[in-house]
Amino acid sequence: MQNDIPALEITPERLYLSRRQFMRGAGALAASALLTACGVPTPTPAPTAPPAPTAPPAPASRAAPPTQVASGADELGDKWTPFDVVTNYNNYYEFSLDKEPVAQAARNFKTTPWTVHVGGLVNKPRAFTLDELLQFPHTERIYRLRCVEAWSMVVPWNGFPLAQLLAQVEPLAQAKYVRFETLLDPAQMPGQRDKYFKWPYVEGLRLDEAMHDLTILATGLYGKPLPPQDGAPLRLVVPWKYGFKYVKSIVKIDLVEDAPVSFWMTSSPTEYGFYANVNPEVSHPRWSQATERRIGETSRRKTLPFNGYAEQVAALYQGMDLRKFF
């Protein structure tokens, strides 16, 4: 099925990075110096009571996945990307810098037992087992996923709002951001032996972004438990941001005072910012973000501001210069 996927029109990250890796020997890489230039403003207050979920609860059961994979469309009328594509075209640098080999490389990834430690600036720090996480009331969310590499998919996720988890630990008033960490286990994740990157993968959100009802922790897709290649057993989904914010196989969530420095900000600080809101008007330094290729389609489509979720989230950024805070 790999043949169904047209080649990327842009330079894949790995080619660029391997070039950089080559240049590093010549002392051409001075990455970290720019990190302090990433100023982050004081967050706006968190929105009040998020709207009730629209879809009926659809827990990703551990037992007997359905044999029939249903299909549908998002609210714009665009079809779900086929299950086989969603689960075979993956970005997951812990397993491979190429997309197609990830599923095979991750197939034996151990997701039980699994514990997620939630702490930092909270009243009630606590460890959640996977079974406890699966007990949060789940919903199905049909979301567009727009990768910074300018391709996109439509994915039917199963999960629960991150806000519900955060409510249980009771963030303190000083908590302004949420920091997420992927499992660090080079024995299982061969990519983590690559010294070019600083492991584990880290991502972050402003607290009000984290509390927004669109932000979910996914435990499944297509009504099945999340496959390892898609971030099992638990990954973040923030549909108005570029896909690299969707940190996979989360083991640690901390409420913090300062903006976390993400994996991609560390790896390539001039190219990847903290916010990473989908924005057709702000080009990546190496390509335009004005259009995208929906996987399975031949012609390109226009990229929508905030990936089509502007109505729900634009208010979070009122008064901010989104060219500066990219």
Contact residues toward ligand MTE (CB under 6 A) are: 90-94, 145, 147, 182, 201, 230-231, 243-244, 246-248
Pick the closer one to ligand MTE by CB: 150 or 259.
Answer: 150
Residue 127: partners with Cβ closer than 8 Å, 6 or more residues away:
115, 116, 117, 118
Query: Which of 95, 244, 263, 274 touches Mo ion by CB under 5 A?
Result: 244
Nearest residue to 236 (alpha-carbon basis) of 214, 258, 257, 256: 214
Q: How far is the CB of 228 from Mo ion (least distance, A)?
A: 18
The contact mask relative to Mo ion for 124-153 (x = CB under 5 A, - = no) is -----------------------x------
Which of the listed partners (Mo ion, ligand MTE, none) does 246 bind, with a CB threshold of 5 to 8 Å by partner kind?
ligand MTE
Q: Are 6 and 298 in contact (CB under 8 A)?
A: yes
Rounded to whole angstroms, how far apart are CA atoms 79 and 170?
Answer: 38
Of 99, 102, 98, give the one whose Cα is nearest residue 18.
98
243 near Mo ion, rule: CB under 5 A: yes
Binding site partner of 109, from Mo ion, ligand MTE, none, Cβ cut-off 5-8 A by kind: none
Smallest gap from residue 45 Cβ to ligand MTE (A): 28
CB 219 within 8 A of CB 129: no
CA distance 253 to 200: 13
Neighbours of 239 (CB within 10 A): 26
Q: Which is nearer to Mo ion, 161 or 243 (CB)?
A: 243
Q: Which is nearer to ligand MTE, 184 or 310 (CB)?
A: 184
d(CA 94, CA 194) in angstroms, rounded, equals 9
Which residues inside 80-99 make contact with Mo ion, applying CB under 5 A?
91
Q: Where are the beta strands (DSSP E) in the chain?
A: 115-120, 126-129, 139-146, 151-161, 177-182, 202-206, 216-221, 224-225, 235-237, 250-256, 291-294, 301-302
252 binds, options Mo ion, ligand MTE, none, Cβ within 5 to 8 A by partner type: none
Q: In the bound complex, what is the minimum distance in angstroms from residue 148's beta carbon to Mo ion?
A: 5
Min dist. Cβ of residue 192 to ligand MTE (A): 10
Nearer to ligand MTE, 44 or 188 (CB): 188
105 binding partner (options Mo ion, ligand MTE, none; Cβ < 5 to 8 Å by kind): none
Contact predicate 298/307, CB 8 Å: no
Nearest distance in Å: CB 89, ligand MTE: 7
Judged by the rule CB under 5 A, the positions of this chain that interact with Mo ion are 91, 147, 243-244
